[in-house]
Amino acid sequence: MKKHISILLVVALLLVGCGQQSEALSGGQNGGTYKLPEPITVVEDEDTPKSATFEEKKPETVSLGGDEAAESKKAEPWDGKTKENTFKGDGFDITFQLQNTWEGGFTANVVIKNTGTKKIRNWEVEFSLPSGIMSLWNAQLTGTDTGGYTVKSSEDWNRDIEVGKTVEFGFNGQKNFDGFPAKYKLSGELVDADATPAPATQAPNQNDPNATQDPNASEDPEVDADDDIEDAEITSGNQFKKHGRLKVKGRYIVDESGKAFKLKGVSTHGIAWFPQYVNKSAFKSFKKWGANAVRLACYTSQGEQYNPSKDWKTIDKGVKAATELGMYAIIDWHILQENNPTMTTARAKKFFKHFAKKYGKTKNVIFEICNEPNGCDWKDVKKYAKKIIPIIRKYTNNIIVCGTPTWSQDVDTAANDRLTGKYTKNVCYTIHFYAATHKDNIRDKVKYAFKKKLPILCTEFSICDASGNGALDKSSANTWIKLFKKLKIGFFTWSLCNKAESSALIKSSCNKTGGFKKSDLTSAGKWFISKLK
């Protein structure tokens, strides 16, 4: 019998002010405001003790230079150097890590460590945060009040905190960083350390009895990776003249001869901000290092500088340059700040009617209909896709790439409820990752979706954190690329520009817009071209 125990620990920590660093909008997960779910009602069953709770403890406080409570003190300015703050509780630690700041926002990571003697299951943490949360990953936002948020485990794989182990989640703040949380409250079920663990599924819906199972797939999807489909020979020269119009066959993208073809390319940053890098010379530089494709990222709202009269011409310039170089080109409707792609349906219809009609007979063009849906359900994405796909299909059978929820991470959800019928021909689904943030938990989603024979293309990734900035994690990135090569999944890195952030491929000190040498590349750029061969 489980013992349901509520751990209530409220902590007052020193509230620190904020510093500012100026940055433009990054290509990482700078999503929109969350729509909060309805309050959760806990229904107790017969096995649930009615009064199995700890006695509430008085808040522990930290005072500075006196005996007043820290929360009653005036906040001190942030020194601009302190990057983390740890509270040591009774049986757990919570560490708040400030990973990156920019003008108008920041990225943070929260690590919960179990220092007790029992496993913590179905954890939920409340914390104060004056700055506010704009987007969240690896957890679920379940409540908010003035200056405070409630976050809980969102997946089977992270609902248990084993003794001595940690779980973590991250988020983007919607304002300048205003200081570390002033209080925390952690709750959960305490169970014996040797109790049956939470289901270690590779994806949230893997054990869903209503999900379609693949009886022919092996237990290890990496072993079941060939399907007797040979790789196409990727050489220099005119790629699409040699390999023709690409198509989706089973879980692979293949060329006209039916051989698996791995698209490997670079994504531009938002073409409204960095149009100067959409040119033949820039693309040619990466082609000589092994790229065979480019992605043209067109943000979708006026707040992101979307301007059809300018952006559409830039896309034309990009397609023309890629075509002349014999490279493939993705035209990307870059959903981000608007969260739910259905909010852009009217504009997206005009956008894709224009470009599908114009490039429908062009063999090297691919259409990505929604970059990173977030804060919405898969049913919303499917509803949107069913309105956009027929518009494109009036003019072309070229490949269409469909985004997935949670910033295009939930390929497992798509695998369990994919598009069907007329909406599925030559349609694949995208996975996005930022290696310092997204690791085994997201790779497991890819493995699961691959096992379910979902065709996947990675249209955006980098080797830094989810903000598009921060430290590089080459180890995690190498693991990702190894997996993609094994499963014959193509990949596009973010981003072709010289913005002063970790994910940019060009050094901020480099003023060239083409004809690049290795010495012009950032560490991320040099790492990327090493993976193209």
Our answer to whether residue 126 is catalytic in this structure is no
Name the burial class of residue 162, with classes exposed (0-12), middle (13-18) and buried (19+) by CB atoms within 10 angstroms of its CB.
middle
According to DSSP, residue 228 is labeled T
Query: Would residue 60 show up in a list of annotated catalytic residues for this protein?
Result: no
Query: 3, 190 in Cβ contact below 8 A?
Result: yes
How many Å apart are CA 91 and CA 163, to the nearest integer?
9
- One-letter amino acid at 370 equals C
Angle at 34 between CA 424 and CA 25, to 5 degrees: 85
Catalytic residue among 126, 155, 189, 372: 372
**Per-residue exposure over 315-346, b if at least 16 CB sit within 10 Å of its own CB, e if not:** bbbbbebbbebbbbbbbbbbbbbbbbbbbbee
CA torsion 280-283-285-286 (nearest 10°) is -170
Point out which residues pair with 305 in neighbouring strands: none
Contacts of 256 (CB under 8 A, 6+ apart): 243, 244, 245, 246, 247
Q: Let me know: does 386 contact 423? Beta carbons within 8 Å.
A: yes
Residue 314, CB-side half-sphere exposure with 13 Å CA sphere: 23
User: Cα torsion for 90, 95, 96, 100, to the nearest 10°?
Assistant: 180
Residue 502: cis peptide before it, omega within 30 degrees of 0: no
For residue 176, which of 82, 116, 108, 272 has the smallest C-alpha distance?
108
- The single-letter code of the amino acid at 531 is K
What is the SS3 assignment for 384?
helix
Task: Report which DSSP code applies to 6.
Answer: B
Please name the helix (run of DSSP H) or strand (run of DSSP E) that holds residue 481, with its range, or none: helix 474-487
Q: Please give the Cα distance from 22 to 2 (Å, whole number).
A: 50
168 and 138 in contact (C-beta within 8 Å)? yes
* Chain center to CA of 465: 10
Phi first, then psi: give them for residue 519, nearest 5 degrees.
Answer: -65, -15
Residues 6+ positions from 498 with CB-CB distance below 8 Å? 504, 506, 507, 508, 509, 510, 511
Out of 155, 338, 460, 501, the active site residue is: 460
Active site residues: 372, 460
